[in-house]
A and B are shown apart, each in its own frame.
Chain A
C-alpha cells in the first residue's frame, strides 16, 4: 500500500515555496491551488460565516460551492480552490462578507 498521494503518482515536484496564511508561512508546491496547500498543512478552515460566524473551508473543490472563500492578496471573497498558490501569495481568514474595511 502506498502512503501518500505524491508517492502514489511518483511525483518529483519542482522546488516549492511558501505562501502567507494569517502571518504564518505555509509551504506550497508549484501548481497547487491555495486550498490544496492549506489542506496539505492540515488546515481545513479559513473563513467564518456571515450569519453565525462558523468556520468553513473547501467543500466542493471545483469552484461550485463558494465555501472556500478567503481574502487573497487583499481582495475579499476569492475562491481558493481555483486560485494557484504563488510565491508570496497572502491569504487572510475572511470574516463574514470580508468587507469590514468598507463598513458595509
Chain B
C-alpha cells in the first residue's frame, strides 16, 4: 500500500475521499477490481469517526472493546495493506474542481500547513457525517460535549470528560455512547432520549430483516443494565447548570411534539453531559458543485443517488452517510457497491439486498428520532444559538419577527449566526428551525475546512 502520491503524473482512475467504513470498502474493492485508486483522509489512521481507535503509542491491546464490528474493520485494513491503494493520511480535501479530470485540493498535516493536488478520473465521496446539535440553556458550559465527541475522545485518546456523565439527545448513537462510557468506567445516571422507541413498532418487518441490528441493541442494553443506567424516553435536558463548568442538568418530559411538559422537571447532578440529535451528512464538497440533494426521514439533507450510487454530477459517486445516515454496515455495503459500478463489475444480488435492507432500517430509525417542532420551547431569550459568534435566541427571533427574515441565510446576515469558525455546522439546524424556513437547502460552504491563504493562491 503506497502512502505518498505516485510519481507518474497520470490521474488516478478513482479518488475516494474519506477512510471510514464506506471509503475503505470502496477503495479496496476498486483496487481489487484493477482500478488505480487513491484514498484521501483527514485523519492520521484509517477508520473515520466510527472506527476511531487509540494511537499506536497508547499500546491498546484490546481496541475492539471500544467497538462493535471491529473484525469488519480489521478485515478492511488487512485488504488495504495488501492492496495497491495509495492511502494519503492527514489530507483534508477542501475543494474539488471538475474538468477533463477531477482536481482535488487538500491541506496536508494535522496543522494543515502543507498542501497537495490530486487528479482522478472519478471521485467517490465517503465523507461521513457530523452530529446535529439542538441548543438548550447552558449548552456552552465546559463539560457539555457532543455524544460523538465523547466517543471520539474516548476511542482515540482513552479519556473521559468527567466521572458522572448524562447522555442526552436522540438517536441510536446515544445508547452506543452510553454503553462505551460505562464500559470505560464512567457512571451514567441517565440516557435522556427525546424520541420514543415505540416508533420502531411501526416497522416490525424491517426490524426482523435486520437481526444484527437487534443483537447490537441488546448488547448495549445489557451493558447499560449492568451500569444501572436509566433510559428516559420522551425526555430532554432542558438546561445545564453551572458557572464555569457543568454541575447538573434539568430533565423534563416532552409531549409528542417535543414540547417540555411543565411540572415534570427533575434535577440530576453530573460533571459532564454528552449530547447529540442524530447525524448530518457531510456533503459540502458535492453541493458546492451543484449536486442534487434529497431530504431524509429525519429532516437532514443527503446526496441524491441512483441505484448505482451515482450523484447527479457525472463522475461523482457517493456512499455511506453522504447518501443518508445509516450506520457502518450500510456504509460498507454501499462502498463496495459503488466501487463495483465504477469498475464496471457486476453487483451481486445479495449485496444489493443487504444494502436495501439496511437502508430500510435507517429510514425507520430516522423517523423514530426525528426532532419534533416543539423543542424550541426549551430555549430562553439569552440561550446562545450560535456558539462561535455567541448569538442569542433573542437576536435570531428579532431578525425573524421584527426585521422580516424568512430564511436562514437572511438570519445569518442580520445576526452573524453561522458566520464564525464552524461555518454553521453546530447552529445550522437550529437557525433554520427558528427562522421557520420550510425551504430546504444544503448549507453553503465554499471551502470545507480552513485553508491558509497561501494555498488558495497556489490552487488558483
Contacts and interface: CB of A to CB of B under 8 A. Distances in A.
Contacts of A100: none
Nearest to B390: A51
Given A59-B144, A60-B146, A66 B58 contact: no
A104 interface: no
Given A5-B154, A11-B58, A33-B157, A60 B142 contact: no
A23 interface: no
Given A1-B227, A31-B55, A55-B244, A9 B61 contact: yes
Contacts of B146: 59-61, 65
B118 interface: no
B185 A1 contact: yes
Interface in A3-34: 3-14, 29-33
A45 to B, nearest CB: 4
B153 A35 contact: yes
B117 interface: no
Contact of B389 (A5, A51, A60): A51
* Chain B interface, DSSP helix/strand/loop, else mixed: loop
Interface in A66-104: 66-67, 69, 77-78, 81-84
B420 A32 contact: no
Contacts of A57: 142
Contacts of A4: 158, 184-185
Given A6-B158, A45-B244, A54-B140, A83 B149 contact: no
B52 to A, nearest CB: 8
A9 B150 contact: no
B238 interface: no
Interface in A28-62: 29-33, 35-37, 39-40, 44-45, 49-52, 54-62
A2 B183 contact: yes
Contacts, number: 167
Contacts of B389: 51
Contact of B161 (A32, A44, A54): A44
B360 interface: no
Interface stretch (B23-31, B62-70, B98-106, B199-207): B62-70
A36 B158 CA distance: 8
A65 B449 CA distance: 11
A31 B149 contact: no
A9 B422 contact: no
A50 B460 CA distance: 33
Contacts of A8: 62, 65-66, 183-185
A11 B54 contact: yes
Given A39-B153, A67-B387, A9 B160 contact: no
Nearest to B243: A55
B60 A32 contact: no
A56 B200 CA distance: 37
Interface string B55-93: 111111111011000000000000000000000000000
B187 to A, nearest CB: 10
A56 B57 CA distance: 28
A52 B183 CA distance: 37
Contact of B131 (A10, A56, A60): A60
Contact of A31 (B58, B111, B145, B226): B58
Contacts of B59: 11-14
B49 interface: yes
B157 A36 contact: yes
B345 to A, nearest CB: 34
Contacts of B14: none
B212 interface: no
Given A8-B185, A12-B61, A62 B152 contact: yes
Nearest to A44: B142
B156 interface: yes
A95 to B, nearest CB: 14
A69 B421 contact: yes
Contacts of B144: 59
B103 to A, nearest CB: 24
A32 B156 CA distance: 7
Contact of A5 (B140, B143, B185, B390): B185
Given A9-B63, A61-B152, A66 B388 contact: yes
B148 interface: yes
A45 B246 CA distance: 11
A86 to B, nearest CB: 10
B161 A55 contact: no
A32 B185 contact: no
Contacts of B60: 9-11
Chain A CB within 10 Å, residue with most, of B42, B55, B145, B153: B153
13 contacts: A2-B183, A8-B66, A8-B184, A13-B58, A31-B57, A32-B58, A33-B153, A51-B390, A55-B142, A59-B144, A60-B130, A60-B146, A61-B153
A-B residue pairs, 7 tightest by C-beta = A31-B55, A36-B157, A30-B57, A61-B149, A66-B421, A10-B61, A31-B57
Given A9-B158, A54-B140, 11 more contacts: A12-B59, A30-B55, A31-B157, A59-B149, A61-B153, A62-B152, A63-B42, A64-B130, A64-B422, A67-B387, A81-B152
